[in-house]
Structure 1
Amino acid sequence: MTALTESTGAAVAAEAPFGTEVLAVRGCESLTAANAPRSVLHDPAEPWSPTNCYMDVWIGLTAALGLDPVPMLGAAFSADFLGDQWEFLKPRQEDLEVLYGLAVGEYDTWRPLGEHLQLAMSRGDALIVEVDAFHLPDTEGVSYGLEHTKTSIVPLRLDPAAGELLYLHNDGVHVLSGEDLENTLGPGARSGRVPYPYVELVRVAGVRRLEPRQLWQHTVELVRDHLRRAPGSSAGSEGPAQRLVTAIREHLPVLAERGMDYFHLYSFATTRQAGLTAGLAAHACRYLAAGAARWPSDLDAELLIEAAESFDAAAGAAKTLQFQLARAARGRTARVDTSADAFVAGHTAGMVAVREALGLGE
């Protein structure tokens, strides 16, 4: 290749960083922001919707592919408190493959991100990409044009001629265009907050749609696995809910000293993650209960409904506790005991009931 040809090729790549073909994730070819399916997990009435950026893209992606996201929520039962934060809830890769046939793994971005995006989407595969929310218009009023913060999106449909990208983020499907697209996934991203993003490849070719009973049966076994590895599952051990509220009580003076900017970071890592985990655990329990009532099994449907109600109570208590932490950060008196105790009681009762319902009680 001559120097002239090389320079011409570089110029073309710079002018068309996303190529020229319309590309889409398999099954999302006709998807738009208006017709995208919405999971019950993203109902605005849910106390913790949107959840967290990673769980949200999986809820949205499975829904976009015509799959039920609720069976993948087993990880909510094994989530732990890590000393300074509640575990950032993610569906396990093994669960996604067992339930849906979706293979997930880290993807090395050794070329310009736009080229990787074209290659993956040309095969119908999806990428989960870390980007800067500063350039995401769906975060208007929170991050868009205001604050540089890292989040995860899934590009679904790319139209280079129109200069538009349909993408999943938080609890919806949105459109990215113009300079925002350039600075999120194009050459402009290299000078931003996430110049070398962490990317995962979701291989969609092997997707499978199990019949409802088989899907439910697989979910039951995966939930049992999560319950076996759950923290605080042995007699006499302190559960993650109690450890969380103990840490929060000890941290109240720090909140009062550091103020609201610190509160937003702290609450996101603690009460928000714990609350959304409890809320999603409630959905999983109701799904299990519905199957136990429909098909013969050794599961106790009534106990699963009790577990769901306890987890719902814990999710609501975490929301109230978060309001109290905001009071503390503003220098006001924060009476956290009632909401903290309610969170512990709800989460603990939920875990006890779901273990017993699945035959794993003490």
Structure 2
Amino acid sequence: MARCCPREVVGRMKHVVQNINVEGYMPHWLHDSTNHWPQSNCYMDLWIEILHTLGLNPLAALAFTVAIDFEGDQWTFFKFPLHDLFLLYGIDVQELNIWHSLLEQVCEQASRNRMTLVEVDAFYLPDVSDTNYHQAHEKTTIGIQSIDPEARQLGYFHNSGYYTLQGDDFAGIFQQEHATALPPYVEFAKLDRVEKFSEASLALQGQRLLADYIKRLPTHNPFHAYSQHFEEQLAALPNLPAYHQYAFATLRQYGACFNYTSHFLDWVGNYRGLYMKKAAKHFDAISSRTQTFLLRAARVVRNKKPLDHAAYFAEIAEHWELGMQELQPVLHVK
């Protein structure tokens, strides 16, 4: 049963989400530097590590990645569907309505053994010392595992790792010197009903989810649509920093996403049919080719030269078609 303390007491205590044991923590192999895309986006990477630390297999929740699309000015910013997290693991995620003090409300949820996922300014995160830390302001999401408001210390998941911060960075994260700042978007994860199913059971449920997501595929090959916009969008970028922002919203999103698709299908194929493994090879090809193309495009922007992109898009569009064809049998499995 959750503890019930006066808010002023909760706000002074140290709280640790007991289900999340970070002693001896090691990142999940999806974040290994040998992978095509060691990181994807902050929300995905965060949840992969949370699930991993809970002793759960994050691969089971990757069925949704098959259905991303080109959205005109970006590719789908893919995130674990909350429905899938509950179905596969019993994790119930809800929005936290910040009507009071962000710090006190995070402490309250931590006292109830709930992980809070908070949008914060990366300016105050020491784990990004080579990019944002005390250099640039950028929105990102962290998962808070421990919090000590009196000592001003925080233990948190971010991207592909677990870190700590303290002092002025703690004050910055919780906007303690900016009383007029808009409250961030915050979620909390209830971990009291976490279930650990067998790999075979997870694979069966993952296959069923895959069938649902295949019904939501784009009506047309998204790479045909993207190829018609790519040249104009690339030419409009004034410099390399602008390219990196653009690439994160486009090339990096679908490159990392289809990398996860290939891993999901390869894993499910161990239990639910070899056709999954055949499909996985096509999505892996999209991922690996895109990693190479990403670097080529960066050199083109830096050197102000034209880029021949037709062959690349023709190849990955074909892999998308072939991969989807291989997956059609899943629609007939009950």
TM-score scaled to structure 2, two decimals?
0.91
For residues 346 and 134 of structure 1, the distance between their equivalents in structure 2, rounded to whole angstroms, comes to: 40
Query: Could you tell me which residue of structure 2 aligns to residue 309 of structure 1?
Result: 281
Q: 1:327 aligns with which of 288, 291, 299?
A: 299
User: CA 1:196–1:92 in structure 2 vs 1: closer, same or farther (change >3 Å)?
Assistant: same
1:240 aligned onto 2:222? yes
Amino acid at match of 1:341: A
User: CA 1:241–1:261 in structure 2 vs 1: closer, same or farther (change >3 Å)?
Assistant: same
Amino acid at match of 2:141: S
Q: How does 1:114-153 map to 2 (within 5 A)?
A: 114-153=103-142
User: CA 1:336–1:190 in structure 2 vs 1: closer, same or farther (change >3 Å)?
Assistant: farther
Q: 1:48 aligns with which of 32, 37, 44?
A: 37
Unaligned runs of 5+ in 1: 1-11, 233-237, 293-299
For residues 307 and 111 of structure 2, the distance between their equivalents in structure 1, rounded to whole angstroms, comes to: 54
User: CA 1:151–1:189 in structure 2 vs 1: closer, same or farther (change >3 Å)?
Assistant: farther
User: CA 1:41–1:230 in structure 2 vs 1: closer, same or farther (change >3 Å)?
Assistant: same
- Give the Å deviation of 1:335: 2.6
Contact 1:112 1:187 in 2 (8 A): no
Query: Could you tell me which residue of structure 2 aligns to residue 338 of structure 1?
Result: 311
For residues 328 and 118 of structure 2, the distance between their equivalents in structure 1, rounded to whole angstroms, comes to: 36
- Give the Å deviation of 1:307: 1.3
Instruction: Among all aligned residue pairs of Structure 1 and Structure 2, give the percentage whose two residues are the same amino acid.
Output: 30
- Give the Å deviation of 1:101: 0.6
For residues 131 and 226 of structure 1, the distance between their equivalents in structure 2, rounded to whole angstroms, comes to: 31
For residues 314 and 137 of structure 2, the distance between their equivalents in structure 1, rounded to whole angstroms, comes to: 36
For residues 35 and 226 of structure 2, the distance between their equivalents in structure 1, rounded to whole angstroms, comes to: 22
Q: How does 1:5-24 map to 2 (within 5 A)?
A: 19-24=11-16
Query: Could you tell me which residue of structure 1 aligns to residue 235 of structure 2?
Result: 253
Q: 1:176 aligns with which of 165, 175, 200?
A: 165
Q: 2:27 aligns with which of 38, 57, 62?
A: 38
SS in 2 for 1:145: coil
Contact 1:311 1:346 in 2 (8 A): yes
Task: Provide runs of 4+ in structure 1 moved above 4 Å.
Answer: 189-192
Amino acid at match of 2:292: T
User: CA 1:189–1:281 in structure 2 vs 1: closer, same or farther (change >3 Å)?
Assistant: farther
Give the aligned CA root-mean-square deviation in angstroms: 2.1
For residues 323 and 23 of structure 1, the distance between their equivalents in structure 2, rounded to whole angstroms, comes to: 44
SS in 2 for 1:166: strand
Aligned length: 326
Amino acid at match of 1:327: R
For residues 45 and 11 of structure 2, the distance between their equivalents in structure 1, rounded to whole angstroms, comes to: 28
Query: Could you tell me which residue of structure 2 aligns to residue 263 of structure 1?
Result: 243
- Give the Å deviation of 1:321: 2.2
Larger of the two Rg values belongs to structure: 1
TM-score scaled to structure 1, two decimals?
0.84
- Give the Å deviation of 1:20: 3.3
Amino acid at match of 1:309: K
